[in-house]
Structure 1
Amino acid sequence: MKEIALIEDDHVLRNSYLKYFNLTNAFSVLFCVNDIPDAIEVNHLQPQIILLDINLPSGSGIDQIGILNQHFPNSKIVILSSLENPALTRKALEAGAVGFLLKSSSLAYIAESISKLDDGGSPFSPGTMSHVLQHNDEPIEEPGEFTKRELELIKLISEGVANKTAADKLNVTYFTINQHLKNIYKKLNINSKSELISWYLNRRK
């Protein structure tokens, strides 16, 4: 069972999410709060995933991802917003979010998307995924730094493809994908997919 948290200032939506996730057998909601300062007050609870709204009483949720990372170092942050804007999607990923879901998505889709995080997937709604794909049209040119297969994997990961799916697409084993990722992380001196996606997006600027 995944332990999650919700930071949402709309009490109707907050209660709706809380009821839905509590009815599933896959999730346990550790806390459900109005704003980031409220979350920090209960940081003795360490969820695996934090669903974060953007427009909060204390300001932009995206701008405060760094603060959340300090208090919840092992939590994966997924934006859950009504705002569908390419610049916001990229900014969120560059700040350290691992996905960007829209509130217009069904609760079942949201739950399914975040459940795939353990398989290496990046949760995106179709609309926000297009924001990333628009940035991925041109190949990155790092012939001396990465192998051709590593470049192919970087692009797939930046599109939110899970490790197992990437293995199928590249016709290699799951173990090989993990080895490629370890090599990529070492070359870039990073430790996570969110950092890899952020690096990739910065190369498209």
Structure 2
Amino acid sequence: MNQIKLAIIEDDELIQESLNDFFDAQPKIDCLQISASVESFLTALKTLEKTPEVILLDINLLGMSGIDGIPLILNELPKVDIIMLTTFEDNDSIYKALCAGACSYLSKKTPLKKIQEAVEVVYDGGSYMSPSIARKIVNSYAPKPSKSDVLTPRQKEIVTGIVDGKSYKMIADDLFVSLDTVRSHIKNIYKALEINSKAELIKKSYDNEI
């Protein structure tokens, strides 16, 4: 049985030890190297008898960040699969890591068995994301609500009145509400649409943006 040749780049000694002990007990995986930085990994790579096929890579490392190190690693190991294993779950880090060449992204909260599963899935040509990461990626591609969706029916009625050239008092009379209520609605409309004037409101209406 061919073992998956794994390398780990992680600077936290407790996590290093935990991963090393776990993978040493897995017959399908051969942990070739554990490094605390991208720089030390690239140096150690020159002395390894076997070539890593999968790398678990942290972002916040000694020296350069894991994301900055991805192109350097891929330059030396063009066929290696890189799995980010990190505490960073923000959209910017996920996007930058995947754009740089990582094929999978895991939270450090991921159980060891799931990390093993990710290594095996990636080795077989797949990709693996922690559920929370996958949700962020899906949400980033979800259609964004249009500006009109952020206005209530009453606010849309007020916008129509303004576009028709009616005064606040006329709008209040038409809708059987107080002048203060109309002013309050208009303040909330400006905030929802991220505008500051009646002119901007009318322009957005003419441009079919609301």
* TM-score in terms of structure 2 length: 0.63
Size of the alignment, in residue pairs?
138
Report how far residue 18 of structure 1 moved.
0.6
Other-structure match for 1:77: 82
Report how far residue 137 of structure 1 moved.
2.3
Other-structure match for 2:22: 20
2:129 aligned with 1:124: yes
Cα distance change of structure 1 residues 119 and 71 upon mapping to structure 2, 3 Å threshold: closer
Query: Which AA in structure 1 matches 2:19?
Result: Y
Deviations along 1:160-192, one digit per CA (max 9) or x if unpaired, are xxxxxxxxxxxxxxxxxxxxxxxxxxxxxxxxx
Which of 85, 107, 115 is matched with 1:110 structurally?
115
Other-structure match for 1:6: 8
Structure 1 runs not aligned, ≥5 long? 139-205
SS at match of 2:32: strand
Report how far residue 43 of structure 1 moved.
1.8
Query: Which AA in structure 1 matches 2:29?
Result: F
Question: What is the percent sequence identity of the aligned residues?
Answer: 31
Q: Distance in 2 between matches of 1:110 and 1:118?
A: 12
Contact 2:107-2:130 within 8 A present in 1 as well:
yes
Other-structure match for 1:157: none
Deviations along 1:39-89, one digit per CA (max 9) or x if unpaired, are 111224320001000001113110121011112222111100011112111
Contact 2:37-2:64 within 8 A present in 1 as well:
no
Deviations along 1:124-144, one digit per CA (max 9) or x if unpaired, are 111111121112325xxxxxx
Contact 1:43-1:72 within 8 A present in 2 as well:
no
Report how far residue 102 of structure 1 moved.
0.8
Structure 2 runs not aligned, ≥5 long? 144-210
> Which range moved further: 93-102 or 109-118?
109-118
* TM-score in terms of structure 1 length: 0.64
SS at match of 1:63: helix
Q: Distance in 2 between matches of 1:36 and 1:13?
A: 16
Report how far residue 117 of structure 1 moved.
1.8
Contact 2:89-2:133 within 8 A present in 1 as well:
yes
Q: Distance in 2 between matches of 1:84 and 1:16?
A: 21
Query: Which AA in structure 1 matches 2:18?
Result: S
Which of 71, 96, 107 is matched with 1:66 structurally?
71
2:92 aligned with 1:87: yes
Report how far residue 5 of structure 1 moved.
0.2
Report how far residue 105 of structure 1 moved.
0.7
Contact 1:7-1:53 within 8 A present in 2 as well:
yes
Query: Which AA in structure 2 matches 1:17?
Result: L
Q: Distance in 2 between matches of 1:15 and 1:24?
A: 15
Contact 2:38-2:64 within 8 A present in 1 as well:
no
SS at match of 1:113: helix
Other-structure match for 1:35: 37
